[in-house]
Amino acid sequence: MEAALSRSPLCLAHRSPLLNQKSPPFNATISCSYSTHSPFKFKRQYTSVMIVPTGIGAAIGGFAGDALPVARVLSNVVDCLITHPNVLNAAMLYWPLPNTLYVEGYALDRFAEGLWALQPIHQNRVGLVLDAGMEKELQIRHLQVADAARASLGLNVVEYIVTDTPLKVEKWIDPESGQSTGRIKHPDSLLRAVETLVNKSQVNAIAVVGRFPDDDIQEVDDYRQGMGIDNLAGVEAVISHLVVRSFQIPCAHAPALSPFPLSLSLCPKSAAEELGYTFLPCVLAGLSKAPQYLVKNSESTERGCILASDVDSVILPKDACGGDGALAFARSRKNKPLIITVEENETVLNDTPDKLGFEVLQVSNYWEAIGVIAAHKAGVDPFSLRRDQISNIHCKSVAVNGYSLSRERT
């Protein structure tokens, strides 16, 4: 992946001695160091960011990994896709995407602001933190998942630790915004556990399993029917943000819950969370190759890291544009990416671009969004693909001695 995602200025920086010959051998090829499709590819890689904020009831991406199909298609159109666990996690299910970077939400915001860089890696040493408030049987189930990931997937999950105090997870729906949120009563216990794994086991990625309070089945019935809000997601983000902010390493969370009773009527969008005793498999798979986070400086540039200025396009729901990352991309003054908002992906928020004062290209659905990105990557004005969307070119006024003059076309 490091070679595929490198940002060399031009292919000639890695030129072969054959280029100095007047007549290269018949079977010689001139190739770009980061070419993944064609040996005659002399354009820099096209990078897209896909955002679906967690815990906001997104019509697509607000359930159990139901935005993953969008990511799969998008990853086949762009050279590099950057997205976050809410898009890629589907509990017991996951899908390997070689050109996709699994970036936690807090880290994605710092990346968008230009403060952090992303360093692609071959593999991480993943540490597992288990909540001391978890029942023994649930703990064993999660340790069996870790062993299965090591034996069947070859993931480098090196050690686990149990927190010295139960985390005491609390969750609720914010009455003002309508999105899910929460807290842990003992964050210091979590940070001590992570610090031990980082310092003594040399892990560089962290999976956290917190024991969540069991809901009354009626409270989650809407979610199981493909409606409402994932009331676990908000506090999951709080937990991962805390770890990433404190240690600057990849982190993702999997809730530990008692299994729900069987439902004979279940929405496919929510079904991934009904398949077993744990949501941990997708987290371990994602963290295994999650990029490392580096403070942006000359060293990160020299290492071939990916920077916010490398991003060509950003795609997100139409009414969820108020996050730190989305605002940073939209207000970028250098290499501003194309911002695409999807009307069909409605959320409980009302943070629309017109309210926030920045321009976007709004599309109806992800079908259209992916078509726009394909055109953008090809260097084609997307509107040239539509009927009667290209009008006559405008004339730019030129100020001379305080007067505005127009240059006529010849």
Show me where the domains of the chain are located: 1-44, 45-309
Under 8 Å CB-to-CB from 327, ≥6 apart: which residues? Answer: 321, 356
Whole-number pLDDT of residue 198: 98
Tokens of 260: 């729900």
From the list 278, 346, 289, 336, the residue with the least C-alpha distance to 312 is 336
When computed from its CA atoms, the radius of gyration of the chain, rounded to whole angstroms, is 24
Asked if pLDDT for residue 314 goes beyond 80, the answer is yes
SS3 label, residue 181: strand
Tokens for 408, please give them.
């006529």
Estimate to the nearest angstrom the gap between the alpha carbon of 85 and the chain centroid: 6
Instruction: Give the global pTM.
Output: 0.85
Q: Is the model more confident about 334 or about 199?
A: 199
Distance CA 231, CA 153 (A): 30
Residues 6+ apart with CB under 8 A from 122: 1, 2, 289
- Quote the CA–CA distance of 280 and 255 in Å, as a whole number: 8
Helix axes 280-288, 136-152, angle to 10 degrees: 40
Range of weakest confidence among 36-40, 64-68, 374-378: 36-40
Amino acid identity of 259? P
Q: How many helices (H) and strands (E) does the chain have?
A: 12, 16
- Residue 16 pLDDT: 38
Residue type, 215: D
Per the CB < 8 A criterion, the answer to whether 74 and 264 are in contact is no
Exposed (0-12), middle (13-18) or buried (19+): which is 181, by Cβ within 10 Å? middle
CA 267/CA 230 separation, integer angstroms: 14
Q: How confident is the model at residue 275 (pLDDT cuts 50, 70, 90)?
A: confident
Whether the per-residue pLDDT at 3 is higher than 60: the answer is no
| pLDDT at position 319 over 50 | yes
Q: Name the phi and psi angles at 405, rounded to 5.
A: -115, 145
For the chain, the average pLDDT equals: 87
Q: Which residues, 6 or more positions from 407, have their beta carbon under 8 angstroms from its beta carbon?
A: 395, 396, 398
Report whether pLDDT(210) > 70. Answer: yes
217 residue type, one letter:
I
What H or E segment, with its residue span, contains residue 260? none
Pair of tokens at residue 162? 């149990």
